[in-house]
Structure formats: structure tokens, C-alpha cells
Amino acid sequence: MKSPLPAFAQAPVLVVGDVMLDRYWYGSTTRISPEAPVPVVKVTRTEDRPGGAANVALNIAALGAPVELIGVTGADEAADALTEQLHSVGVQTHFQRISGQPTIVKLRAMSRQQQLLRMDFEERFNTDAEALLAQVEAVLDGVKVMILSDYGKGTLLNHQALLGLAKQRGVAVLADPKGTDFSIYRGATLITPNLAEFEAVVGHCADEAQLMQRGAVMLEELELEALLITRGEQGMTLLRKGVPAVHLPARAREVFDVTGAGDTVISTMAAALAAGESLEQAMTLANLAAGIVVGKLGTATISAPELRRALQREDGAERGVLSLQQLQAAVEDARAQGERVVFTNGCFDILHAGHVSYLEQAREQGDRLIVAVNGDASVTRLKGPGRPINSVDRRMAVLAGLGAVDWVVSFSEDTPESLITLLKPDILVKGGDYGVDQVVGAELVYAYGGEVRVLGLVENSSTTAIVEKIRSK
């Protein structure tokens, strides 16, 4: 299994743009109002989520990348809620708080996982453009990529000045454009319009050839390095000068809510580029991320473990023989999905029916099964001269082929205690007729709150007995 995620922790990003608060009211609808032909929602739960540029920053933080956010809010309760949520996940905020104007809030009434109504509370901000420019200049040296997250709400008034600052410092600029005047983004590294936004500027594209031709014209006129057009169920297309277009199909298995999908695309692109990935690899990651996020309700983020798991599915590498580093990442991903990890160990020199039955029982104890295999020298010390019959790589290959086994790893010591200490499995299992307190590593597992279980073995199944029978022939 690969560990394909970029080094997001070393990829600082600056987001500048229109921040807002997405507010959700959830409840049941069982009747129609007697006052008007509308459903009555009995609100039982409320939730606030950062939206707009704040959701872009949240997506970057969820990937594990450092992120700074500059924007404009009111001096109100919504701004306080927004700031608190962002700080709680490590987003560094720099807000102009303008008295007398509301923080942008989008209130949605939800019932049975459906949006019934949206109410927007907003006024175009009287942004102090020079002050915002100074804020950007103060933090720009500490980042590798800047995002202009433009929702046309009045925060971004000096696009070209911001682009000029970034160019002076060699910082790439990604822009999520709004409106029909894309000239304000001239000189950006990349802009990411959706198809409707692109066609609002260049006109309807009757076919792929026309889209490619008009995209090439936009690249030239706006002096862009690249243009990424997101096309909903048709995927996304990356255009660059002098390079063949790259098209990726949509990866969503089920589209539940497209809210914020564009934010996920540009945030993943930015974090990946800041981590040193190519435009094509950043696009691949963004496409996978978008496919995950549209399967969630409302403005949502994806975590690094979710993205890594999606990449592993792409590579067909969710299971198998792993290095210790790869196994640590796999366990982290499993825990992020709420899965319980089971651990067992042994020599497994000649795999027989007893082993298979035992491993099937072990797998039933949780969601993921790790099998730790003694190295060759360790087996010799434990079993004596002439053992193992099969080398460790062959033993692991056979174990990895079993349906009950998720991950196989080897260890050179006589016991797996160091592995248990590092991985902290939820459940440690062993086969035999002794008590759980006699299982190697039991005290370690109990110490951090895990469980230890002893499982039965199939009678008359033993590698040693098989070896002796063969030798006696």
C-alpha cells in the first residue's frame, strides 16, 4: 500500500474572501400550516458551520495544512460563532469587523435530510480595501499559495493589487471567480469556474471542441497558467497553454448535496500545490475530494484520512502486506471512520484449517484485522532449528490472500509488544486454552482501555504436527 498524501502539514495557505456563516435548523414536518400552504417544521436541533471563504479555510485545516483567513464580518454574535469555530480547528483569522452591518448568514430549514427553505441575511460590506491589503501583506511571506474566494459580497475590491503582492513574493494565486468580468483575475495562477460561470462569460459551448477553444482564448487573454472548469456530473477539465487538456470524470458514488463542493475543489488544489504537487496530481486529489464531499449534507469538509482512503481505493491498496509506516496510516484512517481494530500475531509457518478458522473468528471481533507475523530469526528462536519452513515474505503473502485479513505486518522481536504499544489496537486476540492475562501484551492493552480476548482453536490442527507427519513419511 502506498502512502500517497502530500505533506499537507508543510503547506501553509492564505485564504482571502467573503466569509459567511451557514446556519441549519433541523426538525420534523408532519403537517401543513393552517395559515399558508407550507410545511410546519418543528425545530429540534440547530447547527452552525463556516461558509464561503471560511468553508474553504475549514477544508484546508481538515486536510492538516496550516491556514490563515482574511475577511470581513459584522460586529455581532454570528461573527463570534464563526471565529470560535474556526479557531477551534486551528484556522488563524484576521477579520475586519464592521459595526452596523450583519455578518453574512445563510439560514436553512431542514427536514428529513431535505432543504425546505433558505433565508439570507446580508448586505454588501463597506470594506476598507487598503486595510485588507495591508493584512494580506503582513502574512503573505509565511504562505505558499493564496486563494481568492470570491462570492461577490464586497470583501474583494482590489484583486489586481492582491495578485501583484503575491507575484512579488512568488506566491501562487488560485481564484474562485464570480460575476462575468473575469479580467479582475488577470495574472492568476489558476481560476476554477464551474461550467455555468464559465459559459456566462464566454457563451454557451455546443461541444467539447468549442469549450476547449474558448478556454484557450481565456487562458491567453487573462494570462493564466491554468484554467480548471468544474462540470458537475461531467467531472472537471484542466486547460493549460501548450499542454493537452486533462479531463477527469466525476467520482461521486451518490450525490447528496453539492453545497460547498467548489470550496472543496479549490481548497484541495491549493493545499496540494502548496505541498509541492503538480497541477495534474492536485486536480486528481481535488476530484476525489469533491466526490466525497457531495455525499455529505450541507457545507462539509473531508479529512486527510478520508482522502487517503479514497486514494487507496483507487490504487486497489486498501488491504495487504504493509510496512510499519503504512500500517500506522491505515490504522489512523480506520479510526477516523469509527472502525474497531483487531490485532493478533503468530508464526503461521504452514497455513492450515485451524489458522483460517481462528483468523475468521478474530475478524468477527471488530472491523479491521491486523495479523503480525514473526520474522524468520524469531521463528527459529521460538520453534528451533529447521523452522520456519516458509520465509516471512511467503507467509505474509498467503495470509494477505485470506478474506478475513486486512493488513499483514512483520516483526523481528520474539513478541509483538512494541507493535501493540505503537498501534494501540482496540482488541487484542489470541488463540489457546489459557487466560487473557497470560496473553503477551495484555497489560499494555488494558492500560489504554482496550480489550483482550482468547479464541478457541480447531482441534488436531497444528503446524508442528503437520511437519512431523511429513518428516515421518
Residue 295 region by backbone torsions, left for phi larger than 0, else alpha for psi between -120 and 50, else beta: alpha
pLDDT tens per residue across span 90-145: 999 999 999 989 999 999 999 988 889 999 999 888 899 999 999 999 999 999 99
In terms of Cβ atoms closer than 10 Å to its own Cβ (0-12, 13-18, 19+), residue 120 is exposed
pLDDT of residue 1: 41
- Which residue in 18, 263, 349, 376 is the catalytic one? 263
- DSSP labels, 238-276: EEETTEEEEEE----SS----TTHHHHHHHHHHHHHHTT
DSSP state of 312: H
Query: How far apart, in whole angstroms, are the C-alpha atoms of residue 366 and residue 439?
Result: 18
Residue with cell 475478524: 363
pLDDT of residue 459: 60
Confirm whether 76 is a catalytic residue.
Answer: no
Q: Where does 35-158 have alpha helices with state H?
A: 53-62, 77-88, 129-139
Amino acid identity for residue 40 in this structure: V
pLDDT at 296 over 70: no
Q: Enter the pTM of the model.
A: 0.70
pLDDT of residue 460: 54
pLDDT of residue 2: 46
